[in-house]
Structure 1
């Protein structure tokens, strides 16, 4: 029996149904026809887009709360980019500019940036602030995702 997953498109935010076994087959959005995964984080620039991805996707969401003026955030950016190439399509990696979407910082009580938050179906699973080298980021993420029913 095939299990279908709901995957939100990082480009047009359409919700796509995708058989679990086709997750790694280079799937494209049924609405905009662009790839559902490109091996890089998606930028979510509004509360509405964030909520759509956080609540409607059946795969976990790894969120990087950052700001352009933040030195540690700029140092973390290439590490987060590399993580996307290794963690997708099992997770969706997204970046949220804390200056553009301050409501989310208040909602989640984000006190410092960069802060990484792992979510599934709109619920926070884990959180970590500060810079992490790639091996530590991958291990931290996998540790929390492995026990999750996805």
Structure 2
């Protein structure tokens, strides 16, 4: 992969799309299913999709690890969604840890909610605790080159 191209996983069909970095701002569509690659809203991950989305996306990917019983997680959910809408070139995703324990296990999540930012399959930052949309946006912006 050259620096001018990147891989983006389709949140709809899980196809890997190779595309020019310059086209990330142009609402890119999946070459397989034709749906938008960068949706501006969080993608729901499963035990089967979490590793592919984290490992194969070259764009900044922020995963919210949460649980259905966690009140701070539930309070942060709309804030995370708002932050995603403000940063459409970033992949935002959610993994429900009480439903997909095996999918969350490799990421060593010790408290909830925890957001982990990945780039090229590598963890670049981690933030635990509920944040507002503004705080999430500021944190994510601080991670961008």
TM-score normalized by the length of structure 1: 0.89
| Cα-to-partner distance string for 1:101-129 (whole Å, 9 max, x where unaligned) | 21243322211111100111221111111
SS state at 1:100 partner: coil
Aligned runs of 1:94-133 on 2, under 5 Å?
A: 94-133=93-132
CA drift of 1:2 comes to 8.4
On the 8 A contact 2:16/2:56 being kept in 1, the answer is yes
CA drift of 1:70 comes to 1.4
The answer to whether structure 1 residue 137 and structure 2 residue 139 are counterparts is no
**Residue equivalent to 2:65:** 65
- Cα RMSD of the aligned pairs, angstroms, is 1.7
**Residue equivalent to 2:23:** 22
Structure 1 window deviating more from structure 2 (20-29 vs 5-14): it is: 20-29
Structure 2: gaps spanning 5 or more residues = none
Structure 1 window deviating more from structure 2 (75-84 vs 14-23): it is: 14-23
Q: Which runs of 4+ in 1 moved over 4 A?
A: none
CA distance in 2, matches of 1:143, 1:92: 15
| Cα-to-partner distance string for 1:48-101 (whole Å, 9 max, x where unaligned) | 311111111110110000112211111000110011111121x10000010122
CA distance in 2, matches of 1:100, 1:2: 37
On the 8 A contact 2:51/2:103 being kept in 1, the answer is no
Structure 1: gaps spanning 5 or more residues = none
CA distance in 1, matches of 2:42, 2:77: 10
Aligned runs of 1:35-50 on 2, under 5 Å?
A: 35-46=36-47, 48-50=48-50
| Cα-to-partner distance string for 1:125-148 (whole Å, 9 max, x where unaligned) | 1111111112221111111223xx
**Residue equivalent to 1:56:** 56
SS state at 2:111 partner: coil
On the 8 A contact 2:58/2:121 being kept in 1, the answer is no
CA distance in 2, matches of 1:22, 1:144: 20
**Residue equivalent to 2:86:** 86
